[in-house]
């Protein structure tokens, strides 16, 4: 029996050129391209709710909030991702057309197919971002927020579930409760 031939790695510029022509989104990790799948209704609602809270809170500041369609480039991981939500206050990112490189907050809303990846390999890549201060994981099914905050040479984890206290997003100066994060979902 024959063996499948492995595809040759693609370089970053070839990925960016190719991605610009695609109707669907794809992430890039060290020469490999991965198709992004559509999200369920609850995922889209929660991501929009979080982005709306952040955008409203940061209005008038030099910070910008992005949702799902803006790429995040992690040079140390040779990767481009599409986080559900991210915030940057870095002047270098204000000139970026295709990808943010200096976010202070990244938010991922879990789905069944990405939960392990978002908590594992993706978070490992995000930790390589020198400017990243916090990573918020949002678990819709458990109505739970998990906040990871960089402290010198390690990360601290804070969590809260439905009806629980607000978590302090120190990177952007916003207190966010699970009830606020999931406010648009039907019970």
Q: At residue 82, does pLDDT exceed 50? A: yes
Instruction: Quick: pLDDT tens for 106-139.
Output: 999 999 888 989 999 999 999 999 999 999 999 9
pLDDT for 6 equals 56
pLDDT band for 39, please (50, 70, 90 cuts): confident
**Strand 99-100 to strand 71-74: parallel, antiparallel, or no bridges (unpaired)?**
parallel
Q: How far apart are CA 66 and CA 7, in angstroms?
A: 32
What H or E segment, with its residue span, contains residue 76? Answer: none
pLDDT in tens, 21-37: 999 999 999 999 999 88
- DSSP letters for 129-183: -TT--EEEEEETTTTEEEEEEEETTEEEEEEEETTSPPEEETTTTEEE-HHHHTT
pLDDT at 106: 98
pLDDT of 7 reads 66
Mean pLDDT along residues 79-89: 97
Task: Classify residue 37 by its DSSP letter.
Answer: P
Going by pLDDT thresholds of 50, 70 and 90, the confidence category of residue 5 is very low
Averaged pLDDT of the chain? 93
Q: What angle do CA 178, 125, 29 make, to 5 degrees?
A: 120
pLDDT greater than 90 at residue 70: yes
Q: How confident is the model at residue 14 (pLDDT cuts 50, 70, 90)?
A: very high
Outline where DSSP puts E strands in the chain: 26-29, 32-35, 64-67, 71-74, 79-81, 85-88, 99-100, 103-109, 134-139, 144-151, 154-161, 167-169, 174-176
What average pLDDT does this structure show over 82-106? 96
Mean of pLDDT values over 152-156? 93
**Which domains can be identified in the chain, with CATH numbers?**
12-181 (3.90.1570.10)
Residue 4 has pLDDT above 90, yes or no: no
- Cα–Cα distance between 183 and 181 in angstroms, integer? 6
Count of helix runs (H) and strand runs (E) in the chain: 5, 13
Token pair 């999931």 in the structure block, residue: 182
């Amino acid at each position: 029996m024959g063996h499948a031939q492995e595809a040759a790695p693609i370089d970053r510029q070839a990925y960016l050129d190719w991605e610009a022509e695609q109707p669907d989104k794809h992430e890039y990790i060290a020469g490999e391209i991965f198709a992004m799948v559509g999200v369920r209704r609850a995922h889209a609602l929660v991501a929009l709710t979080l982005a709306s809270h952040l955008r409203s809170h940061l209005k008038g500041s030099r910070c910008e909030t992005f949702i799902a369609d803006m790429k995040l480039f992690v040079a140390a991981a040779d990767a481009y991702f599409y986080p559900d939500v991210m915030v940057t206050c870095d002047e270098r990112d204000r000139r970026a057309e295709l990808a943010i490189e200096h976010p202070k907050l990244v938010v991922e809303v879990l789905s069944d197919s990405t939960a392990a990846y978002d908590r594992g390999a993706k978070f490992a890549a995000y930790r390589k971002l020198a400017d990243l201060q916090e990573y918020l994981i949002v678990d819709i099914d458990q109505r739970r927020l998990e906040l990871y905050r960089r402290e010198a040479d390690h990360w601290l984890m804070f969590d809260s579930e439905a009806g629980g206290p607000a978590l302090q997003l120190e990177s952007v100066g916003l207190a966010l409760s699970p009830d606020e994060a999931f406010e648009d979902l039907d019970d």
